[in-house]
Structure 1
Amino acid sequence: MGGVLEGFLTIAIVISLGALLAHLGIVDAAGQRSLSLASFYLASPALLVTVLEDSDPSRVLSGPLVATAAGVLVSGGVLVAIAIVRGLDAGTTVVATLCSAYVNAGNLGIPIAAYALGDAALVVPALMMQLLFLQPLALTVLDVVTSPERPTLGRILRRPVTNPLTIASFAGLALAVTDAELPQVVHAPLELVGGMAVPAMLLAYGVALRLGPLPGRGVPPRALATVSLLKMVVQPVAAYVVGRFAVGLDGHDLFAVTLLSALPTAQNVFVVATRYDRGILLARDAIFVTTLASAPVAIGIAALLA
């Protein structure tokens, strides 16, 4: 547990440095966006390729993927059932479902997997589940309910395979499956660029926390409490139960699946909500509340399982 807590402390310090940069006016909102985009489009894909090329695909994509998917399906399924009973419109239901099940696997998942768990490849099941299933499904439904034009099949199929994290994950897994090695002239710059992924995204996250708006009024407390409880309690518990009793995970793998399922709601859920003008305040407040709750929840999980 000591190593895990040390890893979280390291992450917290770097995030705090990002907040300090924002507070001093050294990095503004435009700089935060540049850091995030550089990490998303360049550094994180490079990191995933170099990490996954030496990983064991059967370990990454078998039991952990099943347990991760179970957490998403249980939490999201409960939210959809509640939304149907309460008569929410489809667009708001999609955003609320993302709030309750879409983890911050990029900005926080990769750093936590790399520093707190010691293996960035452990976050791949969560990334794959979200990038290949949850995100395309959510965006397709939102396109259908908000657009006068029906989205084409080609557009739907292109969504997951045009995401740089998805492309990098597939490339790294392909190298691992075939036991191929990148030429050193390619591997060396990828490794160098990938090294900036974690600090860049943590600094950007700290800047966003300092500059971003605090939750305000307008969201019913019961709705916010529901999505936060599903995200921070139901999802990791479901992942743990399925991981331990259905697919036989134990030790470090079980701890990793549970911990990564307890990550807060991803920031891009707010971007999606804003883009489609559905559940904007709920998305904003859910991200804030679950982010605050993530540290004590993670410490509790570490105390029980690490």
Structure 2
Amino acid sequence: MGVVRHGSPEGWVRSADSVRPVTAVLEGFTTITLLVCLGLLLAHLGIIDLPGQRALSLLAFYVASPALLITVLEDSDIGSLFTGALVASAAAVVVNVVVYVLLARFVFKRDLAHTVVGSLCAAYVNAGNLGIPIAAYVLGDAALVAPVLLMQLLVLQPLALTVMDVAVAEERLSVWRIVSRPLRTPLTVGSVIGLVLAGTDLTLPRPIHDPLELVAGMAVPSMLIAYGVFLRLGPRPGLGDAPELGLIVGLKLVVQPVVAWAVGAYLLGLEGTPLLAVTVLSALPTAQNVFVHATRYDRGIVLARDVVFATTVLSVPAVTIAAALVA
């Protein structure tokens, strides 16, 4: 059975023609579930406590994730970003964020930091852990996830973290500090380095690249294990604001794929595999990165945890329905 390396420490995936689509979806979710369960077990046995969970999240935020971004982006095709799929995906993100922000500020009365976390919960899809294998197995081409993945890494994430930095700052920040903030955020720095490597003929020497790739391999496992630990030791799921949770889950699994499909089909004229890809990828669950960001800034942690849990469970039928209807 052949394998294809997708330029990422997230692992090797079997070629698209060797696995049935349903099996591919289940494999992606099973991998995530097993690592989360490992975190649950470690917490239950007392091996990792809440301070340890926070240490894992900070390790992912400051060290492993920037390394992961470098190794993922260094082999990416920048030209693949600028497609109709990018426009449709971005439109769906904008709609979700605008709807949530308006309701969060004027109905739920949330502060700015919480609103940023909620916005990411409503719009930031799991394009890495699930997007890559689903694009490869279900859609037949892993490159189809590139527009969504790069948009999130290069635009949505840096913008959200900049606003979050401003929101939690203890003193008023100058314009220069606000503008330069993304360049001092580890995730943005990692993205920029990876983008420079992708757009030039530069390559990292093996003595640097190999250790970097090893560190990058910690990113996804540490996120998922930390999430499992908090799921066991934090407040029980469902104890947060149920209306807000229901709103975000509805936006993420219903509104986002419907908007992406409508914009792609009726405004951009997408059809066939490109339209199927933008719809299915928009129906993916909220990424664990959002929980890591919430932990880093100590804002909206319970909300992020509950949204990741609910959307991951419910996205199995959501992705299946979206694929069946569009196909």
TM bucket, shorter chain: 0.7 to 0.9
- The change in CA–CA distance for 1:273 and 1:36 in structure 2 (over 3 A counts) is closer
List alignment gaps of at least 5 residues for structure 2. 1-20, 137-141
Once residues 273 and 63 of structure 1 are traced to their aligned partners in structure 2, the CA distance between those partners, rounded to angstroms, is 34
For 2:17, the equivalent position in structure 1 comes to none
Once residues 261 and 301 of structure 1 are traced to their aligned partners in structure 2, the CA distance between those partners, rounded to angstroms, is 6
- The change in CA–CA distance for 1:71 and 1:267 in structure 2 (over 3 A counts) is same
For 2:211, the equivalent position in structure 1 comes to 189
Once residues 93 and 312 of structure 2 are traced to their aligned partners in structure 1, the CA distance between those partners, rounded to angstroms, is 17
Is 1:295 equivalent to 2:313 in the alignment?
yes
1:51-76 Cα distance to aligned partner (Å, 9 max, x none)? 21111112135445433322221012
Indicate the structure with greater helix content: 1
For residue 95 of structure 1, the aligned residue among 106, 114, 118 is 114
- The change in CA–CA distance for 1:197 and 1:150 in structure 2 (over 3 A counts) is closer
Map 1:240-255; keep pairs closer than 5 Å: 240-247=261-268, 248=270, 251=273, 255=277
After TM superposition, the score normalised by the length of structure 2 is: 0.73
Q: Which amino acid aligns with 1:28?
A: D
For residue 166 of structure 1, the aligned residue among 170, 181, 188 is 188
For residue 156 of structure 2, the aligned residue among 130, 133, 137 is 130
Once residues 84 and 105 of structure 1 are traced to their aligned partners in structure 2, the CA distance between those partners, rounded to angstroms, is 19
Q: Which amino acid aligns with 1:229?
A: G
- The change in CA–CA distance for 1:229 and 1:123 in structure 2 (over 3 A counts) is same
Q: Percent identity?
A: 38
Once residues 104 and 39 of structure 1 are traced to their aligned partners in structure 2, the CA distance between those partners, rounded to angstroms, is 21
Deviation, 1:42, is 1.9
For 1:8, the equivalent position in structure 2 comes to 29
Map 1:210-229; keep pairs closer than 5 Å: 210-215=232-237, 219=241, 221-229=242-250
Q: Which amino acid aligns with 1:233?
A: V
Q: Which amino acid aligns with 2:61?
A: F
1:173-203 Cα distance to aligned partner (Å, 9 max, x none)? 1111113222222222222222222222222
- The change in CA–CA distance for 1:117 and 1:259 in structure 2 (over 3 A counts) is same
List alignment gaps of at least 5 residues for structure 1. none
Deviation, 1:93, is 6.5
Deviates most, 154-163 or 289-298: 289-298
Q: Which amino acid aligns with 1:134?
A: A
Bigger RCO (CA 8 Å, 6+ sep): 1
Deviates most, 156-165 or 254-263: 254-263
For 1:198, the equivalent position in structure 2 comes to 220
1:79-118 Cα distance to aligned partner (Å, 9 max, x none)? 34445764x65x5366346414446959x55332455545
For residue 180 of structure 1, the aligned residue among 181, 196, 202 is 202
Number of positions where the alignment pairs a residue of Structure 1 with one of Structure 2:
292
Is 1:78 equivalent to 2:99 in the alignment?
yes
Once residues 112 and 238 of structure 1 are traced to their aligned partners in structure 2, the CA distance between those partners, rounded to angstroms, is 20
For residue 50 of structure 2, the aligned residue among 22, 29, 35 is 29
